[in-house]
């Protein structure tokens, strides 16, 4: 499975409307796309273009008003809470912009949290490898408040990887970081895709972040307006100018 | 600022409601106590007034020292002719009004054992105030009237048999009339009417009256009273009907006034617990509103304005809570009465009485408690700097302040302990000592609460251990969450701690009493059986003992009589004076500290033997002379010839001869008869034949073996314990609301975190479990602290009682059960918050600001 390049996520005709009547907002309009296994996709677009909404629907956190999402062969828009919980445990990893870590647990405990929640034992070799990649070193037993923002976010990425999910979703994972810390986090994601065959879908505002991806999807007013390789950061900036 | 305060209150309805509930419950308890006791007193007043409605002047024997049994002396009937000749007397009649036992045809007791029942003589129509709802007046010695409520309760009607038993004798009557007096319900009390000669015969008062009722003709009550006074001896008391009713109602207030105080103590506990809840809610709310306060400050709001906005919120909550509490007080009054009835205290009732004082006190307490408890959080709100609007800051916890708090906590603890000890050993009298001890306990509790944030970490680790082992991650997270904000957890736990400290104190103390009684019974009784009034405190006929002695298998019967007297030239109180048969040493193991069995055998009418603690307490020694005032006004002077210790509390403070007891103390009836069996007799068989004898001839008496004696005492203590637990229940409920409230507020703070946990795979069930465990750990912290405090209080207060043979015993089983109970209570408190947390929408929580 690791290297087969099948499509792990397929969205067909996905629309999402918030509210009703005159005040209704169409956050997504008939979006269809698919994501290949082992690829790193960035989603960009102006504020309010529907990036987060798309990601939430792909991850089963929100339901579309129309259309379907198939994740790893399973239709997910009609799942109930128990099934979605199981889906999140087994197949999904998340990295958020803030509040990724539990302040009461140590870095390492936070890292293995998805496994603890699922009642599974971490594979020690895999764990060591992750800790090593993250560069946590002697800070394994520190609490999040004793880590820098970049370190915290790298732990969050490692946590998303620890259960070897089908897809990792990241919503502006570098939105809060300076450029050095950002590039550490992005290199970590890139590394996961290249070396562990991880599928990653990332929403970002940062052209430099998008440049780390294999594929760039651009949204405007809830529709996909561009889909292709990102090229360099400067090329991404040029592209974004044409969209705005 | 007022409208801002009220708006913000409205925006936080749920927490405002729970906070208000704390006020409501405490105030309702206070209001209910006043309403209930005022109503009871009013009912008694009504009964006394109703029964004297046609009477203008009352003559009764002087009752110098009121007896625990409630018996009053009678006086000679030869007074009546003299009274009748007084000018202005229209009608005068002698009356019998004596406590007795009521039984049905099968000699089964009617109504509650403890409720007062009176055998009375019917009065001439000109004086009688009871009306006949059915049937007619008794006409001869075979007929009786019974009050309607008692008849209904027992399922008796006209033509049925009613057996009445006085201390002296028992007889059967046919019920010919059912009566009623006024509108007040008598509660458990009941009254039977006989023709006068029969009433005198059955109560053993031939030629005697309990009182004479007089109706005036053409003169005022006061004038008639003066005229009557001139013809009667000084041993009797002449009162106007009004004076008599007032004296009776004063006595009732004295007798059951403690009830009001006891209930108010429990109400105070509930209020105290509520204060913790209010404090905590306000603290958390202020902490959560830091940004808002900061924003207001940047807009130019002064500290004072911020303060007043919080104070106005508190005022609104306090006022509303007090008003609702006052209304709920009526429910509490009814509920408390039902609780009393359930344990056999069935007091008279009438329409519920609300005095202005009840309203004023309720409002003051409700508003006062809320203001005081929210004061510190309100002050903290003024410390928010404007910059807080821009930064996610927390109010500073300086290290220095931590130290100051710790020092204050220790100081409070020490001061509270000092007060407790001063109350215990300082020699202050009853009320002041109790006040000191109660105040000391409160101060100690405040000290412990102030210090307890430091104890939260270790205690949570201990309490959380089993949960962590059972449910690794959720247990672990729950424990960590309770340790996150130790001050908050500590205050929440402290609320439960208070209730539990009192529960544990009472439980440990009661266990001590039970085991002390058991030891004392084992040590001091050699006789195998005792005969007592079934109510445990009224006397039985002196003919019981000789009759019992004739039963086969009985070697001898020894009797103890008792009366309350006043010690003249000395301290207050009403020591119990006992007298023993000469053969007492065959059944009782008296622990002599001065003298021995021969002292008792050779005791003369001019001598007394004293209980050592009574002698020490009044600085009396061998050879001293003591004087007592007795119920009939006699003042015997006695020489102290011996001293004893009495762990069983049987012998009272003083022992005198049976002769002196009869003549000077007017006591000729037995309190307890001790039965010694012939060696080799079958105890069970003898007890059965004695029981049969009692049932036939002395139905008020009951035979008990040592085991039953202990069980009977235990049962009474257990009933009292049950009542106390029920009364503490309200305080515990308030503390559970406190746990629920704190949880709800911290869940609110942790919304995003909970969303994140759900996003990475935590199930609803796991979220529920985690929250539930947080509640359980908080409850267990409270329970552990409460237990330690309760045990310490019990141990301290037991200290001065050691001399009297009181030994503490620790009911480990019960204490463990209480821990389990606390854990279950935690689970209950967590139901609503856990549900809410688990139902949070993952996406919305993640985006929550
Ligand atoms: N819960 C909601 N209720 C109503 N409207 C919503 C809701 N969530 C999103 N929207 C609207 O849907 C549109 C898309 O929002 P979305 O959050 O997906 O944008 P985004 O591309 O992530 O923007 P940003 O870059 O600012 O994060 C916006 O117009 C937004 O106002
Ligand atoms: Mg977004």
Q: Which residues of B189-203 are buried (b: 16+ CB within 10 A; e: fewer)?
A: bbbbbbbbebbbbbb
Instruction: Tell me how crowded residue B171 is: count the other CB atoms within 10 A of its CB.
Output: 16
A105 in contact with chain B, both atoms CB, cutoff 8 A? yes
- The residues of B whose Cβ lies within 8 A of any Cβ of A are 472-473, 477, 480-481, 483-484, 752-753, 756-764, 766, 842-843, 846
Residues B418 and B392 in one domain: no
Q: A38 is written with which tokens?
A: 């082992």
pLDDT at B141: 92
Residues B17 and B163 in one domain: no
Q: Residue A78: is its pLDDT beyond 50?
A: yes
Residue B218 lies inside a defined structural domain of this protein: no
Report CA(A59)–ligand 2 centroid distance (Å). 14
Residues B607 and B584 in one domain: yes
Rounded Cα distance, A124 and B236, in Å: 99
Residues B733 and B763 in one domain: yes
pLDDT at A68: 93
User: Are the CB atoms for B155 and B122 separated by under 8 Å?
Assistant: no
Residues B185 and B164 in one domain: yes
Residues B335 and B267 in one domain: yes
* Enclosing domain of residue B743: 453-525+708-849
CB–CB contact A100 B756 (8 Å): yes
Domains of chain B: total: 5
CB–CB contact B760 A99 (8 Å): no
- Whole-Å CA distances, B332 to B267, B352, B553, B730: 11, 12, 54, 10
| Residue closest by Cα to atom 16 of ligand 1 | A50
Residue A4 binned pLDDT confidence (cut-offs 50, 70, 90)? very low
Dmax (CA) of chain A: 57
User: pLDDT for B333-367, tens place per residue?
Assistant: 999 988 888 877 778 888 888 889 999 999 999 99
Residue B427 lies inside a defined structural domain of this protein: yes
Q: Rounded to 10 degrees, what is the CA torsion of A120, A121, A125, A131?
A: 80
- Is the CB of A33 within 6 Å of ligand 1? no
Residue B447 lies inside a defined structural domain of this protein: yes
Give residues with Cβ within 8 angstroms of B27, minimum separation 6.
B271, B321, B322, B324, B325, B326, B328, B329, B362, B365, B366
- Whole-Å CA distances, B698 to B102, B169, B528, B537: 12, 7, 20, 16
Residue B219 lies inside a defined structural domain of this protein: no
| Residue closest by Cα to atom 2 of ligand 1 | A18
Separation in Å, CA of A169 to nearest CA in chain B: 11
Q: B60 is written with which tokens?
A: 């009764």
B644 bridge partner residues: B592, B611
Dmax (CA) of chain B: 102
> Which ligand approaches the C-alpha of residue A170 most closely?
2
Q: Which of B484, B764, B842 lies nearest to residue A104, judging by beta carbons?
A: B484
pLDDT at B104: 87
Full DSSP string of B268-306: HHHHHHHHHHHHHHHHHHHHHTHHHHHHHHHTT--HHHH
Separation in Å, CA of B756 to nearest CA in chain A: 7
Report CA(A30)–ligand 1 centroid distance (Å). 16
Which regions in chain B score pLDDT beneath 70? 1-4, 113, 387-401, 427-430, 526-527, 570-572, 803-805, 848-849
Residue A1 binned pLDDT confidence (cut-offs 50, 70, 90)? very low
Residue B798 lies inside a defined structural domain of this protein: yes
| Residue closest by Cα to atom 31 of ligand 1 | A48
CA quadruple B397, B399, B400, B402: dihedral sign? positive
CB–CB contact A104 B480 (8 Å): yes
- Whole-Å CA distances, A25 to A55, A61, A64: 17, 19, 13
- Whole-Å CA distances, A180 to A136, A187, A206, B770: 16, 11, 13, 38
Residues B444 and B464 in one domain: no
Residues B576 and B673 in one domain: yes
All residues of chain A having their beta carbon less than 8 Å from the beta carbon of residue B758 are 85, 88
Separation in Å, CA of B780 to nearest CA in chain A: 21
Please name the residue of chain A whose CA is at the shortest distance from the CA of residue B839: A81
- Is the CB of A47 within 6 Å of ligand 1? yes
Helices (H), B52-132: 79-84
Give residues with Cβ within 8 angstroms of B300, minimum separation 6.
none
| Residue closest by Cα to atom 19 of ligand 1 | A48
In this structure, what CATH number is given to the domain that contains residue A193?
Answer: 3.40.50.300
Report CA(B102)–ligand 2 centroid distance (Å). 85
Q: Which of A99, A100, A117 lies nearest to residue B761, judging by beta carbons?
A: A117
pLDDT at B589: 81
Residue A9 lies inside a defined structural domain of this protein: no
Residue A117 lies inside a defined structural domain of this protein: yes
Residues B40 and B80 in one domain: no
Residue A34 binned pLDDT confidence (cut-offs 50, 70, 90)? very high
Question: Given B697, B717, B733, which residue is the final one in a domain?
Answer: B697
Instruction: Tell me how crowded residue B90 is: count the other CB atoms within 10 A of its CB.
Output: 15
Q: Residue A5: is its pLDDT beyond 60?
A: no
Q: B542 is written with which tokens?
A: 């002196």
- Is the CB of A118 within 6 Å of ligand 1? no
CA A147 to chain centre: 22
Please name the residue of chain B whose CA is at the shortest distance from the CA of residue A116: B473
What pTM value is reported for the model? 0.81
Residue with tokens 């870590």: A101
Separation in Å, CA of A107 to nearest CA in chain B: 14
Residue A93 lies inside a defined structural domain of this protein: yes
Q: Kindly report the length of chain B.
A: 849
Residue A171 lies inside a defined structural domain of this protein: yes
CB–CB contact B760 A117 (8 Å): yes
Task: Give Rg (Cα) of chain B.
Answer: 33
Question: Given B671, B697, B723, which residue is the final one in a domain?
Answer: B697
Rounded Cα distance, B691 and B527, in Å: 16
Residues B586 and B656 in one domain: yes
Report CA(A46)–ligand 2 centroid distance (Å). 10
Residue B228 lies inside a defined structural domain of this protein: no
Cβ neighbourhood burial of A111 (10 Å; 0-12, 13-18, 19+): buried
Give residues with Cβ within 8 angstroms of A244, minimum separation 6.
A46
Residue A41 lies inside a defined structural domain of this protein: yes
Domains of chain A: total: 1
Residue B631 lies inside a defined structural domain of this protein: yes
Residues B50 and B146 in one domain: no
In the A/B pair of chains, how many CB contacts fall below 8 A?
62
Best probe residue, ligand 1, of A45, A53, A172, A202 (max atoms within 8 Å of C-beta): A53
- Is the CB of A218 within 6 Å of ligand 1? no
A176 closest CA partner among A72, A63, A99, A97: A97
Instruction: Tell me how crowded residue B801 is: count the other CB atoms within 10 A of its CB.
Output: 17
Q: A226 is written with which tokens?
A: 């561009």
pLDDT at A3: 38
DSSP state of A244: -
Arithmetic mean of pLDDT, A88-97:
88
- Whole-Å CA distances, A149 to A78, A133, B384, B848: 37, 17, 27, 20
Residue A12 lies inside a defined structural domain of this protein: no
* Enclosing domain of residue A52: 37-63+77-243
A67 in contact with chain B, both atoms CB, cutoff 8 A? no
Three-class SS state of A123:
coil
Report CA(A52)–ligand 1 centroid distance (Å). 7
CB–CB contact B481 A104 (8 Å): yes
Instruction: Tell me how crowded residue A110 is: count the other CB atoms within 10 A of its CB.
Output: 25
Residues B417 and B376 in one domain: no
Residue A122 lies inside a defined structural domain of this protein: yes
Q: Which of A56, A62, A114 lies nearest to residue B761, judging by beta carbons?
A: A114
Residue B235 lies inside a defined structural domain of this protein: no
Chain A from 221 to 240: CB within 8 A of any B CB: none
All residues of chain B having their beta carbon less than 8 Å from the beta carbon of residue A99 are 752-753, 756
Full DSSP string of A165-200: -SEEEEESTTTTS-HHHHHHHHHHHHHHHHHH--EE
CB–CB contact A113 B760 (8 Å): yes
Rounded Cα distance, B350 and B342, in Å: 18
Separation in Å, CA of A121 to nearest CA in chain B: 12
Best probe residue, ligand 1, of A28, A43, A50, A218 (max atoms within 8 Å of C-beta): A50
């Amino acid at each position: 499975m690791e290297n087969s390049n099948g499509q792990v996520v397929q969205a067909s005709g996905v629309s999402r409307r918030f509210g009703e009547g005159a005040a209704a907002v169409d956050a997504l309009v008939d979006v269809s796309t698919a994501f290949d296994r082992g690829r790193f996709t960035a989603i960009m677009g102006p504020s309010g273009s529907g990036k987060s909404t798309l990601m939430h629907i792909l991850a089963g956190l929100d339901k579309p008003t129309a259309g379907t999402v198939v994740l790893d062969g399973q239709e997910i828009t009609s799942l109930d809470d128990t099934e979605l919980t199981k889906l999140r445990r087994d197949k999904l990893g998340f990295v958020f912009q803030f509040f990724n870590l539990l302040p009461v647990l140590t870095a390492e405990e936070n890292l293995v949290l998805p496994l603890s929640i699922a009642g599974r034992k971490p594979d020690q070799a895999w764990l060591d490898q992750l800790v090593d990649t993250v560069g946590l070193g002697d800070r394994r037993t520190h609490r999040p408040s004793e880590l820098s923002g970049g370190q915290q976010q790298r732990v969050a990425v490692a946590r998303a990887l620890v259960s070897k999910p089908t897809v990792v979703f990241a919503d502006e994972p570098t939105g809060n970081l300076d450029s050095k810390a950002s590039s550490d986090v992005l290199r970590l994601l890139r590394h996961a895709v290249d070396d562990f065959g991880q599928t990653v879908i990332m929403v970002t505002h940062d052209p430099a972040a998008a440049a780390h991806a294999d594929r760039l999807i651009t949204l405007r007013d809830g529709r996909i307006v561009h889909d292709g390789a990102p090229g360099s950061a400067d090329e991404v900036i040029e592209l974004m100018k044409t969209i705005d | 600022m007022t409208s801002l305060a009220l708006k913000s209150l409205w925006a936080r309805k749920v927490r405002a409601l729970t906070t208000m509930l704390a006020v409501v419950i405490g105030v309702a308890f206070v209001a209910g106590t006043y309403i209930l006791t005022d109503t009871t007193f009013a009912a008694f007043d009504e009964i006394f007034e109703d029964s004297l409605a046609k009477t203008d002047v009352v003559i009764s024997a002087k009752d110098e020292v009121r007896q625990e049994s409630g018996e009053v002396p009678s006086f000679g009937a030869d007074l009546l002719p003299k009274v009748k000749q007084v000018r202005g007397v229209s009608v005068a009649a002698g009356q019998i009004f004596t406590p007795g036992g009521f039984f049905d045809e099968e000699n089964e007791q009617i109504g509650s054992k403890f409720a007062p029942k009176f055998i009375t003589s019917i009065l001439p129509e000109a004086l009688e105030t009871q009306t006949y709802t059915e049937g007619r007046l008794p006409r001869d010695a075979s007929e009786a009237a019974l009050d309607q409520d008692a008849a209904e309760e027992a399922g008796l009607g006209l033509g049925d048999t009613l057996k009445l038993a006085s201390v002296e004798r028992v007889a059967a009557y046919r019920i010919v009339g059912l009566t009623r007096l006024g509108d007040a319900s008598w509660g458990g009390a009941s009254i039977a009417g006989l023709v006068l000669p029969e009433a005198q015969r059955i109560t053993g008062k031939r030629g005697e009256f309990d009182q004479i009722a007089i109706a005036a003709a053409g003169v005022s009550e006061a004038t008639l009273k003066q005229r009557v006074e001139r013809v009667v001896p000084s041993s009797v008391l002449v009162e106007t009907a009004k004076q008599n009713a007032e004296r009776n109602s004063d006595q009732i207030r004295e007798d059951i006034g403690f009830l009001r105080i006891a209930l108010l103590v429990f109400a105070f506990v509930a209020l105290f617990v509520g204060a913790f809840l209010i404090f905590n809610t306000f603290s958390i709310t202020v902490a959560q509103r830091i940004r808002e306060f900061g924003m207001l400050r940047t807009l130019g709001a002064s500290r004072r304005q911020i303060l007043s906005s919080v104070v106005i919120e508190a005022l609104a909550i306090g006022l509303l809570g007090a008003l609702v509490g006052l209304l709920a007080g009526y429910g509490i009054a009814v509920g408390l009465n039902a609780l009393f009835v359930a344990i056999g205290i069935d007091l008279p009732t009438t329409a519920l009485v609300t005095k202005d004082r009840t309203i004023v006190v309720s409002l003051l307490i409700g508003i006062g408690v809320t203001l005081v408890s929210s004061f510190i959080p309100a002050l903290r709100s003024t410390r928010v700097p404007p910059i807080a609007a821009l930064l996610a800051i927390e109010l500073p916890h300086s290290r220095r302040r931590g130290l100051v708090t710790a020092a204050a906590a220790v100081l409070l603890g020490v001061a509270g302990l000092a007060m407790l000890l001063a109350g215990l050993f300082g020699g202050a009298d009853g009320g002041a000592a109790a006040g000191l001890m109660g105040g000391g306990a409160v101060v100690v509790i405040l000290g412990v609460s102030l210090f307890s944030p430091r104890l939260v970490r270790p205690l949570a680790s201990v309490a959380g251990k089993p949960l962590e082992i059972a449910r690794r991650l959720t247990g672990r997270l729950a424990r960590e969450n309770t340790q996150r904000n130790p001050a908050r957890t500590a205050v929440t736990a402290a609320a439960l701690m208070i209730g539990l400290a009192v529960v544990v104190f009472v439980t440990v103390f009661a266990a001590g009493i039970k085991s002390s009684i058991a030891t004392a019974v084992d040590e001091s009784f050699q006789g195998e059986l005792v005969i007592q009034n079934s109510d445990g405190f009224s006397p039985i006929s002196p003919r019981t003992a000789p009759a019992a002695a004739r039963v086969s298998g009985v070697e001898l019967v020894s009797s103890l009589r008792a009366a309350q007297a006043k010690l003249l030239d000395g301290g207050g109180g009403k020591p119990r004076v006992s007298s023993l048969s000469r053969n007492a040493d065959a059944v009782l193991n008296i622990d002599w500290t001065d003298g021995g069995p021969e002292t008792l055998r050779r005791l003369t009418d001019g001598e007394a033997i004293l209980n050592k603690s009574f002698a020490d307490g009044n600085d009396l020694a061998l050879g001293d002379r003591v004087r007592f005032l007795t119920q009939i006004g006699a003042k015997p002077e006695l020489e102290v010839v011996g001293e004893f210790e009495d762990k069983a509390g049987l012998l009272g403070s003083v022992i005198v001869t049976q002769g002196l007891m009869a003549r000077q103390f007017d006591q000729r009836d037995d309190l307890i008869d001790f039965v010694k069996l012939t060696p080799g007799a079958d105890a069970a068989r003898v007890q059965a034949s004695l029981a049969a004898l009692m049932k036939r001839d002395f139905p008020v008496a009951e035979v008990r073996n040592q085991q039953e004696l202990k069980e009977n005492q235990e049962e009474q203590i257990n009933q009292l314990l049950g009542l106390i637990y029920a009364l503490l229940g309200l305080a515990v409920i308030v503390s559970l609301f406190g746990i629920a409230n704190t949880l709800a507020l911290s869940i609110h703070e942790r919304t995003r975190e909970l969303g994140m946990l759900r996003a990475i795979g935590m199930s609803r069930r796991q979220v529920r479990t985690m929250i539930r465990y947080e509640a359980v750990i908080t409850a267990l912290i409270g329970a552990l602290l409460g237990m330690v405090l309760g045990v310490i209080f019990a141990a301290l207060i037991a200290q001065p009682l050691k001399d009297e043979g009181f030994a503490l015993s620790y009911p480990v089983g019960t204490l463990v059960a209480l821990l389990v109970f606390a854990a279950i209570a935690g689970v209950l408190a967590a139901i609503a918050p856990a549900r809410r947390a688990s139902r949070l929408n993952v996406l919305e929580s993640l985006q929550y600001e």
